[in-house]
Amino acid sequence: MPKPHLALLGALLVAFGLSHFSGAIDPYHLDVLTGVGINVLLAVSLNLVNGFTGQFSLGHAGFMSVGAYLSAAVSLFLAPQLFGDLASAGALQQGLACLLALLVGGLCAALAGLVVGVPSLRLRGDYLALVTLGFGEIIRVTFQNVPSLGGALGLHGIPAFTSIFWVLASVAIAIFVVTCLVHSTYGRGFLATRDDEIASAAVGLNTTRYKIVAFVVAAFFAGIAGGLYGHFKQSITPTAFDFAKSIEIVVMVILGGMGNTVGVIIAAILLTLLPELLRPIAEYRMIIYSLLLILLMILRPQGLLNIRGLSPRKHPS
């Protein structure tokens, strides 16, 4: 991309413009579009860890839940004190409250990413996958046991801040940050860590630090995605962020061809739309989904859309 800053500005303007026409879009389509946006955000951020840095994380839904819970808590408990009654507040106040909630959610998720990442990134491959999965489950069970956050029942009555503007803007910023990070001089270290950790360490890269940075940035955007999700569904339960959600995001990254942002975005869109498109045959749709997954892996092991050949190295057997 020649001028990423201009592209970001353009995308933000488009998002802003589009949000004025959201009334004209069919509500069902708007819902689907929001769902797609949240999944794209999750997939693009996880791609930084799994695709570009080559670390296999299976706990992305855990960070999403941190973001969802903390931002919901901000909107429910803190925002009314800062901005008064939100229902009657002006658009500016609502926007500020939403921004605050999302940022708090994202930052808390990033902090969780740091706490989880520092110990677990010492491990490799399947072990890392398992430990991140474990942390994801621990986060979920912890939320289930905090009475002030609703326990197993979850939080309800979260204000419906999530508009198409916030979703598109977050997606644009996430793509911008991840792309610029990876293409910067500093960011070449992510790819080097992925391609050969030992060689990167030998030329003096602090590979552990790169892994942690990738982890924290990914967790931040997962937290934002969680915040958007909470303010979109208006109620959250711990079970929405279980192991299955993490798997769903990993599948998007792998289908898109790991480390290929465009591919991952398209895969996230397709995989979110697929269950919607299969709705007429509802009884069989998840069976077909799983069969398609197996077939795609057998027929297109390098990812559905990986054309540039940026596939990760094969593990020597």
Partner 1 sequence: MSEFLQQLLNGLSLGAIYALIALGYTMVYGVLRFINFAHADVFMVGAFIGYYMGRIVPEGTIWGGTIALVVAMLGCALLGILIERFAYRPLRGAATLNVLITAIGVSLFLQYTGQRFFGAAPRAFPPLFPVKMFNLGGLVISTNQLLVIFVATLLMVALQFIVQKTKIGTAMRAVSLNPKAAQLVGVNIDVVISFTFGLGSALAAAGGILYALNYPSIDPLMGVMPGLKAFVAAILGGIGNIPGAALGGLLLGTVETFVGGSQFSTYKDAIAFAILIIILLFRPAGLLGRFTVEKV
- Please identify, using beta-carbon distances, which residue of 4 and 134 lies nearer to partner 1: 134
**Radius of gyration of the chain from Cα atoms?**
19
If binding is defined by CB under 8 A, does position 17 make contact with partner 1? no
Span 58-117, contacts to partner 1 by CB under 8 A: none
Q: Could you tell me how many residues of this chain bind partner 1 (CB under 8 A)? A: 46
| Closest CB to partner 1 among residues 53, 162 | 53
Q: Where are the alpha helices (DSSP H) in the chain?
A: 4-19, 27-47, 60-73, 79-83, 91-120, 125-144, 164-183, 188-195, 197-202, 207-233, 243-255, 261-277, 282-299
Among positions 119, 153, 156, 157, the unique one binding partner 1 when judged by CB under 8 A: 119
Residues 306/260, Cβ–Cβ less than 8 Å:
yes
Comparing CB distances to partner 1, the nearer of 231 and 245 is 245
Q: Binding segment for partner 1 among 16-24, 37-45, 138-146, 224-232 (CB under 8 A)?
A: 138-146
Nearest to 47 by CA among 164, 194, 184, 192: 194
Cα angle at 119 between 115 and 125, to 5 degrees?
120
Asked if 289 interacts with partner 1 (CB under 8 A), we say yes
Q: Give me the residue label for tokens 């106040």.
A: 93
At closest approach, how far in Å is the CB of 188 from partner 1?
21
Nearer to partner 1, 3 or 314 (CB): 314
Q: Quick one: DSSP state of residue 239?
A: G
CB of 207 to partner 1, least distance (A): 13
The CB-of-237 to partner 1 minimum distance in angstroms stands at 15
Site for partner 1, residues 219 to 258, rule: CB under 8 A: 243, 247, 250-251, 254-255, 258
* Residue carrying structure tokens 């910023």: 173
Distance CA 46, CA 62 (A): 12
Of 37, 94, 41, the residue nearest 224 (C-alpha): 41
Ranges within 155-214 binding partner 1 (CB under 8 A): 198-199
Identify whether the C-beta of residue 75 lies closer than 8 Å to the C-beta of residue 161: yes
For partner 1, the binding residues (CB under 8 A) are: 56, 119-120, 122-123, 125-127, 129-131, 133-135, 137-138, 141-142, 144-145, 198-199, 243, 247, 250-251, 254-255, 258, 283-284, 286-287, 289-291, 293-294, 297-298, 301, 311-312, 314-315, 317
